[in-house]
Amino acid sequence: MLAYIARRVLLMIPTILGIMLISFVLVQFAPGGPVERIIAQLQGQESSASSRISGGGGDFSGGGQSAGGTGDASSSRYRGAQGLDPQFIKQLEAQFGFDKPAHERFLKMIWDYARFDFGKSYFRDISVLELIKEKLPVSISLGLWMTLLSYAISVPLGIKKAVRDGSSFDIWTSAVVIIGYAIPGFLFAILLIVLFAGGSFWQFFPLRGLTSENWALMPWYAQIADYFWHLALPITAMALGAFATSTLLTKNSFLDEIRKQYVLTARMKGLSERQVLYGHVFRNAMLIVIAGFPGAFIGAFFAGALLIETIFSLDGLGLLSFESIVNRDYPVVFANLYIFSLVGLAVNLVSDLTYTWIDPRIDFETREA
């Protein structure tokens, strides 16, 4: 098993390199960029442009360089740069690192990322690592509790539906599951706000934030209660449709196993239905359910919470990634992608190891390469 884990860890290296390389190449051909964004702001005479330039690590208001210079516009490869000094454009490129060839920038990025040095945000006066740490508690809270809640509901419900297949319980729960899956999470979130967060009816739950303003002054038990009080509506909105797929997957997996010959043999030996279900069927049926756990967790952790974060004013990684892509803040974009890929590969490895824990007959070391 240790040899298998070592091989999987080593395979993570070329996988991450490939993901980062493809993304880096795509960005090179994507229209727009941080330099174009600054130029557009300067040409639009936005007051925030100069502050963002100086905040990014270089002050271009001095040294005799004028944003309104009359340099040769044809010497610039940026559209909309007419009227700007070409030397000023070169200084902008140097600030963002675009004065170096693409392969040098990529190699430097990979070397820095291997040491978890993500640099500074282009348009925020803060390091990318500190920015991610600031948003991480929200994403961890939403991703972890939503995944655990959805599996805590879907696995028992799926088993119950499989045991009572075709009954009235199976029919009406299937209808509820399908309806819940069909309702978009953000619409259900708005409904919860209207009903329970002071929208039009009751105000039982807070509307924004992960904790209350006086959270640090509360005793530990009140801090825990306040934390889950704030998470109640967002987690409910996210989990509504999340457990539908895993519920039906669990049911179908158990139905497939229940109909096999070894189950009939176990029943003929006099084993109780509970012993057959949880002693024999559960181990085999849960393998396919566990296979979907990494995707569910990673999706909720990064991408699945964007609209929920926006609706409930929760500043997490989903919202940060979206804003960074829109603003062409490439250090934040690539850092999020790197962490996303690393966590995804690690969770997939943990998922494989869980297979062997549930069913010791599975031995990855004996698999053919």
| pLDDT band of 111, cuts 50, 70, 90 | very high
* Residue ranges of the chain that CATH labels 1.10.3720.10: 129-366
pLDDT at residue 66 tops 50: no
What is the helix (H) or strand (E) element at residue 1, kind and residue range?
A: none
What is the helix (H) or strand (E) element at residue 255, kind and residue range?
A: helix 220-258
Q: Could you tell me what percent of the chain has a pLDDT over 90?
A: 7
DSSP state of 64: T
Query: Hey, CA dihedral for 155, 291, 357, 165, is it positive or negative?
Result: positive
What pTM value is reported for the model? 0.70
Per-residue pLDDT tens digits for 286-331 = 777 776 666 666 666 665 567 888 888 888 888 888 888 888 888 8
The answer to whether the beta carbons of residues 318 and 302 sit under 8 Å apart is yes
Pick the CATH number of 129-366 from 1.10.3720.10, 3.40.50.300, 1.10.10.10, 3.40.50.970: 1.10.3720.10
pLDDT value, residue 4? 78
Per-residue pLDDT tens digits for 237-255 = 888 777 787 888 888 888 8
| pLDDT band of 78, cuts 50, 70, 90 | low
Question: What are the helix and strand counts (H, E) for the chain?
Answer: 16, 0
The answer to whether the beta carbons of residues 78 and 39 sit under 8 Å apart is yes
| pLDDT band of 199, cuts 50, 70, 90 | low
| pLDDT band of 369, cuts 50, 70, 90 | very low
- The packing angle between helices 128-163 and 317-327, to 10°, is 130
